[in-house]
């Protein structure tokens, strides 16, 4: 891992992101993403040295959770504290959304109280509606379709360990119709990283997102590919990523999914097709013995806990540049 106390810079000019929503990575240019990664590295360096950086003193982030969370809640809440602001946790039972108030009315009301809103929910169109009516920046903490804050942290983790992003190859193994897969497609393509997705038939990525990632890749030199063969996807890859086979809301499909995805388990045999110095990433929580074996997720190639920590640093960069001023 690179020493985070040293200045590490991707080539980017400052981006004016004030007031912008953070809903998908496809909404941001390569320069925007590189700028945010540089800012995340800088704030990580300050935090490690114990240097205060209260860029958001007096600011308040409202956090709406319709899905439970460990990393998302703690990383945003602690991140806001380190930036000098505060965060308010709101479950769907705490606000009138849970009692039938419209998304638009909730967005308008909360905009009068807070300086930014982070939402972790199910349907992606819900967060799009919220952002349409809100008068403050809205951040996607996770929807069924996208998980952009996690993938920004993934890119940060890869950059720290590899010292570059463009020219690397990433593969995603598992359920392609998955929020992590979708945001990885957009993120990898945006930074010039090749990405290959392997999933069973019937579990392919969202076609619109996949085709958009290919279009982004045409401008950055990224190759975006899909295959049903995990061995083909993982061949000579630098980064291996997987996720749970059964996401929240899919519990009724668990037994079927265990059978369908069994050939897509990330294990020692499958990883033998990758480069010798591959990195293994997983957004957590993980089901050891299902999508990944313990020897991989707990082995020397795994950077999952660096990845988890980097949620906070990547999100601090987002918070600062959307809410500052």
| Token pair in block for residue 149 | 């804050």
**What DSSP letter does each residue of 266-304 carry, written as one string?**
B-HHHHTTS-TT-EEEE-S---BTTTB-HHHHTSTTB-H
Q: Considering 175, 238, 243, 257, which one is annotated as catalytic?
A: 243
How remote is the C-alpha of 319 from its chain's centroid? 14
Q: What residues are designated binding site for carbamoyl phosphate?
A: 69-72, 96, 120, 147-150, 283-284, 311
DSSP state at residue 236: T
Q: Considering 283, 313, 315, 321, which one is annotated as catalytic?
A: 283
Going by C-beta distance under 8 Å and a sequence separation of 6 or more, which residues neighbour residue 165?
A: 10, 155, 158, 159, 191, 192, 193
In 3D space, the residue among 247, 257, 310 whose CA is nearest the CA of residue 281 turns out to be 310
Give phi and psi for 136, each to the nearest 5: -125, 165
Q: What residues are designated binding site for L-ornithine?
A: 179, 243, 247-248
CB atoms within 10 A of CB 111: 19
| Token pair in block for residue 47 | 């935090």
Inter-helix orientation angle 304-323/30-48, to 10°: 110
Q: Considering 30, 150, 265, 315, which one is annotated as catalytic?
A: 150
Integer angstrom CA distances of residue 288 from 198, 244, 272, 300 = 19, 9, 19, 16
- Based on the residue annotation, tell me whether 311 is a catalytic residue of this protein: yes
Q: Considering 147, 182, 282, 321, which one is annotated as catalytic?
A: 147
Residue in the block written with tokens 């929807």:
143
Q: Spell out the alpha helix ranges (H) of 221-261.
A: 230-234, 254-260
Q: Considering 21, 39, 82, 120, which one is annotated as catalytic?
A: 120
- Based on the residue annotation, tell me whether 265 is a catalytic residue of this protein: no
**70-73 long-range Cβ contacts below 8 angstroms, 24+ apart:** 70/284, 70/285, 71/283, 71/284, 71/308, 71/311, 72/118, 72/120, 72/141, 72/142, 72/149, 72/311
CB atoms within 10 A of CB 16: 10
Q: What residues are designated binding site?
A: 69-72, 96, 120, 147-150, 179, 243, 247-248, 283-284, 311
Residues with catalytic roles: 120, 147, 150, 243, 283, 311
């Amino acid at each position: 891992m690179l020493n985070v106390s040293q200045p590490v810079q991707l080539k980017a000019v400052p981006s004016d992101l004030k007031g912008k929503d953070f809903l998908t990575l496809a909404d941001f240019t390569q320069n925007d993403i590189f700028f945010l990664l540089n800012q995340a590295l800088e704030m990580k360096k300050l935090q490690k040295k114990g240097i205060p950086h209260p860029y958001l003193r007096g600011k308040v982030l409202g956090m709406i959770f319709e899905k439970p969370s460990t990393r998302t809640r703690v990383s945003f809440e602690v991140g806001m504290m380190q930036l000098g602001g505060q965060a308010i946790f709101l479950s769907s039972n705490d606000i009138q959304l849970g009692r039938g108030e419209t998304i638009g009315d909730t967005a308008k009301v909360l905009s009068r109280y807070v300086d930014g809103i982070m939402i972790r929910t199910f349907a992606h169109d819900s967060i799009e509606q919220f952002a349409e009516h809100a008068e403050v920046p809205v951040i996607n903490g996770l929807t069924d379709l996208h998980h952009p804050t996690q993938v920004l942290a993934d890119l940060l983790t890869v950059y720290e360990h590899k010292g570059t992003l463009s020219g690397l190859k990433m593969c995603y193994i598992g359920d392609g119709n998955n929020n992590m897969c979708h945001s990885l497609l957009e993120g990898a393509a945006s930074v010039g990283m090749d990405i290959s997705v392997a999933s069973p038939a019937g579990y392919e990525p969202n076609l619109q997102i996949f085709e958009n990632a290919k279009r982004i890749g045409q401008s950055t030199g990224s190759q975006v590919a899909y295959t049903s063969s995990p061995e083909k996807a993982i061949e000579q890859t630098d980064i291996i990523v997987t996720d749970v086979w059964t996401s929240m809301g899919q519990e009724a499909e668990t037994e079927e999914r265990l059978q369908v995805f069994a050939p897509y388990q990330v294990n020692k045999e499958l990883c033998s097709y990758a480069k010798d110095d591959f990195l293994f990433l997983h957004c957590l929580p993980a089901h050891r013995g299902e999508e990944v074996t313990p020897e991989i997720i707990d082995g020397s190639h795994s950077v999952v806990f660096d990845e988890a920590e980097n949620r906070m640093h990547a999100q601090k960069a987002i918070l600062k540049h959307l809410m500052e001023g």
